């Protein structure tokens, strides 16, 4: 089943026409009715997209997750039981779950990158002799980042969350390369101290 290439923000049915019965549409979708699926998509895509966007806070990701939700609806339609709830609720719960999963996956990846960045920093500078042993939770990371100067925070986010090289960070911030390296070094030292990483 090919999903629509972009999220549709307005339903296809004519203005003033009665809204389709979503539970009935779900029953038809469960039988493989593609036209019913199109109606269901048009009726609920704006709602699902808005809900997902509030969670992931990124339009491109919200559109991806919305497509994933409706793909799951198409694949799992036979599991929908109208006696246990309405189609609208079933789909919005699915959308919320997928949105939260996307945020958690992104945060986990960012935390892994930052942990690796701290380790690489300590291994690459002569004044740091011991490896970092870190078990970071995302709230601790965010609190630690807030203790940095704005330039340190921006530089580290670009380098370790955005995947930019030091040279690219320097260009993005309009700063000399040496300044960026110093800000990242000082920021990493500050993060190590705030996170309680032993180095002595």
Q: Is the confidence at residue 168, as pLDDT, over 80?
A: yes
Helices (H), the chain: 22-30, 34-56, 59-76, 87-124, 138-146, 150-156, 166-173, 177-194
- For the ranges 45-54, 89-98, 119-128, which has the lowest average pLDDT? 119-128
As given in the structure block, the two tokens for residue 22 are 């979503």
CATH number of 22-105: 1.10.1740.10
Using the 8-state DSSP alphabet, how is residue 161 labeled? I
For position 197, what pLDDT does the model report? 59
Rounded average pLDDT over 20-41: 92
| CATH fold group of domain 125-194 | Arc Repressor Mutant, subunit A (1.10.10)
For position 130, what pLDDT does the model report? 38
Closest CA to 118 of 179, 175, 168, 159: 159
Give the tens place of pLDDT for each residue, 103-144: 888 888 888 877 777 766 655 554 444 343 344 456 677 777
pLDDT tier at 152, thresholds 50, 70, 90: confident
Q: Where are the domains of the chain?
A: 22-105, 125-194
- Give the Cα separation of 109 and 104 in Å (integer): 9
- Give the Cα separation of 56 and 129 in Å (integer): 39
């Amino acid at each position: 089943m090919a999903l629509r290439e972009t999220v549709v923000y307005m339903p296809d049915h004519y203005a003033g026409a009665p809204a389709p019965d979503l539970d009935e549409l779900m029953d038809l979708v469960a039988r493989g009715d593609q036209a019913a699926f199109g109606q269901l998509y048009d009726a609920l895509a704006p709602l699902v997209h808005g809900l997902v966007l509030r969670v992931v806070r990124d339009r491109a990701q919200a559109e991806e997750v919305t497509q994933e939700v409706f793909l799951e609806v198409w694949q799992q339609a036979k599991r929908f039981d109208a006696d246990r709830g309405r189609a609208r609720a079933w789909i919005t719960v699915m959308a919320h779950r997928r949105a939260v999963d996307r945020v958690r996956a992104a945060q986990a990846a960012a935390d892994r990158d930052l942990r690796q960045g701290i380790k690489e920093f300590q291994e690459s500078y002569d004044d740091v002799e011991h490896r970092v042993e870190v078990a970071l939770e995302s709230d601790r990371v965010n609190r630690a980042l807030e203790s940095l100067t704005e330039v340190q925070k921006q530089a580290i986010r670009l380098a370790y969350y955005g995947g930019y090289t030091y040279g690219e960070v320097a260009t993005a911030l309009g700063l000399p390369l040496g300044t960026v390296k110093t800000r990242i070094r000082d920021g990493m030292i500050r993060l190590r101290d705030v996170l309680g990483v032993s180095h002595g």
